[in-house]
Structure 1
Amino acid sequence: MTSYGARIVIAASNAARRLGQGLDSLGKSMEVCKYSDRLVPSTRFVAVDGLSPTVSPLTAFVAPNASVIGDVTLGNNSSVWYGATIRGDVNKVTIGENTSVGDRAVIHVAKIQGDFPSIIGNNVTIGPGAIVHAATLKDGCVIGPSAQVLDGSIVGEHAVIGPGAVVTPGAVVGPGEYWSGSPAKMIRRTTPEELLVASENARDTLALALMHAVECDKSLEQIHEDKAAYEDSIYRDPEYWQPNARESERQSGDVLGMGSPGLIFDNALTNPEEGLKLRKKRQEAEQQK
């Protein structure tokens, strides 16, 4: 009886699998626009209790493996880097413009032991591994790597929290102050040089964010095209035929729907001399590695 039941289950599962494949094929044939999965699928934006993140269309970059959860607002030209988590589940998180949240940083809120949101201003730099828990960061401040800014604390304009420092709950960091230690205390005033470096770092981070956004948005087909173009640039003789740089020109030079002529005819069968040159270049490149 057990064997008979197992055969029924296997037959039913096979039938369900075939039905699913048939429905998938039917849906594919009915598609008006071709759909392709992202190279790195993720759940970057997650709703909680009916509240979804509000992300500006001009946001510079949110990494594929970052998590932006719940009542979170992210402003123009801001960036959330790899592995970072911004969680607005029991309160809200507001992040202004041109602010960067570093790799593996965590921003959270509080509700149980105090009703504190996380309010982060413009031009703020939050270093990798830092924790901002239910705190307020004013414009232009810098939170160092692995530093912690805890419940109800306030960091003033252009203040700097040193690497690994712990700003205890309820602490108030004045504008332009440098705090360090655990628990963190004021060490000195920030210097004009430090403020200049912080401003330059914010601009550099924005440029990097835009570059990463372009790369992470590429499809698998674009990745393969980039790889083929890179290898072609290494092995192709500069004096030999060069692919046109513009896509429209490459399409106009298409041969029988097979792609650019240089990628078809540069081989040892149809052009032995060029094939030998390419093989020699590959051998030289391998020897140099």
Structure 2
Amino acid sequence: MDGLGLGLGLGLCLGLGLRLGLGLSLGLALGLGLGLGLGLRLGLGLGLGFGLGLGLRLGLGLGLGLVRRRRTKKTMGTLGKAIYTVGFWIRETGQAIDRLGCRLQGRYFFQEQLSRHRTLMNVFDKAPVVDKDAFVAPSASIIGDVQVGSGSSIWYGCVLRGDVNSISVGSGTNIQDNSLVHVAKSNLSGKVLPTIIGDNVTIGHSAVLHGCTVEDEAFIGTGAMLLDGSIVEKNAMVAAGALVRQNTKIPSGEVWGGNPAKFLRKLTDEERAFISQSATNYSDLAQVHVAENAKPFDRIEFEKALRKKFTRKDEEDDSTLSVVRETPPELVHPNKDPKPLQK
């Protein structure tokens, strides 16, 4: 029975993969799959449960891989979406079984909820592309058709959602905490609008960009909102809290603010220099956060203990209480010289 069940399981799954990927007739595909399944059973002596799992993985993997090679467009067809949905069901079923197994362990069950947040998440076949030199905070969300260039930084709580259109972020750009970047599939003008952000752009905290274009070295203030079709040209500045209405164009070298946003004045030379320096500062700061977020758990625990040992009261309080504190050589803070022991 094990051999028959394994052969049928592997045969059906591999046959489905061959049918989807190579366009073979159903009978031929199932025949080849059944032969491969029985061959694995006889050659490797696999058990029923393991064989069924392996067959399912091989079949779906082969089908998806071959279907992707055959498709030239980026869009996923009806068949691809169906396979994607089946894969989602299988993944969720496995997680549910894992949770059930943990509960059956009784008092040994680890009760803390595991965060399922994903910093990078695809939407069907649309997956984010992030340069290796970019920083994406652990609590940020980059979803769908999004590209992030070299040296850019996406800070904590940001959401870049390219689900119905694309988002492009250039090099050296910083999108600060809790900002939202989205796209437009349709609007009153009937235009399909992506969001395009150039190089060395600074986008302040809690800003909202929706289906707009921000050119190189522009500055978007804290809490500003840019609506569909708006364009911010190079070296232009949008003041904090401003609302830039649809299809508004902000010329280079100007400061706009208010609700709705209107021309306020020309940029000064100091402000131009500030915009450029702001992007550089955030790129440098991002490297610090990259290093901190990459630390393994044991290093974090070691530094926690180190900070605890460094905690000390004011020297005058120590002398009042006649307390002598000794700092072991291995615990000398790297940025401080060891203080002489009190006598």
> TM-score by structure 1 length?
0.68
Does 1 or 2 have the higher relative contact order (CA < 8 Å, sep 6+)?
1
**In 2: Cα distance, 1:76 partner to 1:238 partner:** 48
- Look up the SS of the partner of 2:255 in the other structure: strand
Deviation at 1:213, TM superposition (A): 1.6
**Does the alignment pair 1:199 with 2:276?**
yes
Counterpart in the other structure of 1:242: 329
Quote the RMSD (CA, aligned, Å): 2.8
**In 2: Cα distance, 1:18 partner to 1:111 partner:** 43
Taking only the aligned residue pairs, the percentage that are identical comes to 38
**In 2: Cα distance, 1:54 partner to 1:118 partner:** 15
Residues 18 and 54 of structure 1: is their aligned pair in 2 closer, same or farther, counting only changes over 3 Å? Answer: closer
Q: Deviations along 1:229-257, whole A, 9 cap, x unmatched?
A: 2233446x897641188xxxxxxxxxxxx
**Structure-to-structure mapping, 1:1-289, within 5 angstroms:** 17=101, 42-59=117-134, 61-113=135-187, 114-234=191-311, 241-243=328-330
Residues 240 and 194 of structure 1: is their aligned pair in 2 closer, same or farther, counting only changes over 3 Å? Answer: closer
Counterpart in the other structure of 1:262: none
Deviation at 1:209, TM superposition (A): 1.1
Counterpart in the other structure of 1:8: none
**In 2: Cα distance, 1:199 partner to 1:103 partner:** 19
**In 2: Cα distance, 1:203 partner to 1:40 partner:** 33
Ranges in structure 1 where 5+ consecutive residues have no aligned partner = 1-12, 22-38, 246-273, 278-289
Q: Deviations along 1:111-168, whole A, 9 cap, x unmatched?
A: 1222000010000001001011000000000000010111011100010000011111
Structure number with greater Rg is 2
- Which residue identity is paired with 2:192? D
Ranges in structure 2 where 5+ consecutive residues have no aligned partner = 1-96, 106-113, 313-323, 333-340
Runs of 4+ that moved beyond 4 A: 18-21, 237-241
**In 2: Cα distance, 1:58 partner to 1:146 partner:** 27
**In 2: Cα distance, 1:18 partner to 1:94 partner:** 42
> TM-score by structure 2 length?
0.58
Q: Report which of the two has the higher share of helix.
A: 2
Deviation at 1:217, TM superposition (A): 2.1
